[in-house]
């Protein structure tokens, strides 16, 4: 008897910088969501697709839910918050991702970070998985016990699962648990499709990731990336890309460009490496920096810029 095909949606939620994007990429087996050491780099819901012969799981990586509501004010903050909570309606299972290392060092932060999630999931009938991430950052695993006990008390219906998304420790076991929670259904996407996001969007996200890696303090949070031109030349196996980096202030433009253009050159060089992997061919990437002072207040710019 043929094995029934399973297909369903899983939403990843949790505080900023807990490792949701790293876990999404690990589950998919390829980079579909940007990853940096800075919190709140995911601005929109990123959908990644993991398929095999008898199953398909669609993962929704959402922006981090910040405990401080002041951090989520303004059109961009509201859009990020909306993207996170709206994803819940599509999900067959919910995965809360938490930073184990943070709560071992600062246990008082746990109540602060799970308050909204705890109340939202109290009466939840769908499967809830709490991924206790970043266990690779401490060698004495017994330090986790008070945290795991606390989570079991606060979220008694949830499946608590310690793991390391970076090291991929526990990844196979987590996938099996998620698969068992999916309904029997046909695949919703072609088996070779890895994301619902257009390639141009993923290209803009790669450039934005490099901005976060190279710029300090608040500067990368005030940037947006728009791919203005995209030309594919099949006979040369080459893609020509023109992208604009929008900044809110003149001094930020200078920071993005760097002395004698050094910073933007390095951003372009590193972005080109990842974009080559994305498109599977040669890439000619040109970056421009423009000032758009009010883009943070203009929600339409947020949508137009594919961020």
> pLDDT per residue over 127-161, tens digit each?
999 999 999 999 999 999 999 999 999 888 899 99
pLDDT at 80 over 90: no
| 105 backbone dihedrals φ, ψ, rounded to 5° | -75, -40
**Pairwise CA distance, residues 283 & 5, whole Å:** 38
- The side-by-side arrangement of strands in the sheet containing 93-99 is 46-52, 55-61, 6-13, 93-99, 128-133, 159-162
What burial letters (b/e) apply to 224-245, b meaning 16+ CB within 10 Å? bbbbeeeeeeeeeeebebebbb
**Pairwise CA distance, residues 43 & 137, whole Å:** 26
pLDDT at 297 over 60: no
Residue 168, SS3 per DSSP: coil
CATH superfamily label, 199-304 = K homology (KH) domain (3.30.300.20)
pLDDT at 93 over 70: yes
Sign of the Cα pseudo-torsion (61, 62, 65, 66, in order): positive
pLDDT at residue 215, rounded to an integer = 82
How does DSSP assign 178-244, residue by residue? HHHTSPB---SS-TT--BSS-HHHHHHHHHHHHHHHH--TTGGGGEEEEEEEEEEEGGGTEEEEEEE
Domain boundaries, the chain: 6-180, 199-304
Lowest mean pLDDT among 19-28, 112-121, 197-206: 112-121
pLDDT at residue 152, rounded to an integer = 92
C-alpha distances (whole Å) from 94 to each of 42, 129, 134, 225, 263 are 18, 6, 19, 30, 40
pLDDT at residue 75, rounded to an integer = 47
pLDDT at residue 176, rounded to an integer = 95
pLDDT digits (tens, 9 = 90+) for 161-183: 999 999 999 999 999 999 999 99
The β-bridge partners of 61 are 12, 46
CATH code of the domain occupying 6-180 = 3.40.50.300
Angle between helices 109-121 and 145-154 (to 10 degrees): 30
Q: What is the mean pLDDT of the chain?
A: 84
């Amino acid at each position: 008897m043929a094995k029934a095909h399973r297909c369903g949606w899983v939403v990843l939620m949790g505080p900023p910088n807990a490792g949701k994007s790293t876990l999404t990429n690990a589950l998919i087996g390829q980079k579909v969501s940007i990853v940096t050491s800075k919190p709140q780099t995911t601005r929109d819901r990123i959908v990644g697709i993991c398929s095999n012969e008898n199953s398909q799981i669609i993962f929704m990586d959402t922006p981090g839910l910040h405990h401080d509501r002041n951090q989520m004010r303004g059109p961009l903050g509201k859009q990020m918050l909306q993207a996170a909570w709206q994803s819940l309606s599509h999900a067959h299972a919910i995965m809360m991702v938490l930073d184990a290392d943070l709560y071992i060092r600062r246990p008082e932060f746990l109540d602060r970070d799970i308050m909204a999630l705890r109340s939202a999931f109290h009466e939840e009938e769908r499967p809830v998985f709490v991924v206790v991430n970043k266990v690779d950052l401490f060698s004495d695993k017994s330090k986790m016990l008070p945290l795991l006990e606390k989570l079991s008390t606060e979220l008694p219906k949830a499946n608590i699962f310690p793991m390391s998304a970076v090291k991929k420790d526990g990844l196979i076991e987590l996938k099996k648990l998620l698969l068992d929670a999916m309904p029997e259904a046909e695949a919703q996407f072609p088996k070779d499709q890895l994301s619902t996001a257009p390639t141009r969007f993923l290209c803009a996200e790669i450039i934005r990731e490099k901005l976060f890696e190279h710029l300090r303090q608040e500067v990368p949070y005030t940037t947006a990336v728009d791919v203005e031109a995209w030309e594919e030349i099949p006979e040369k196996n080459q893609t020509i890309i023109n992208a604009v980096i929008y900044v809110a202030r003149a001094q930020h433009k200078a920071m993005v460009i760097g002395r004698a253009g050094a910073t933007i050159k390095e951003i372009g060089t590193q972005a080109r490496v990842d974009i080559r992997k994305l498109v599977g061919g040669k890439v000619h990437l040109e970056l421009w920096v423009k000032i758009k002072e009010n883009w943070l207040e203009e929600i339409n710019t947020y949508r137009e810029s594919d961020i």
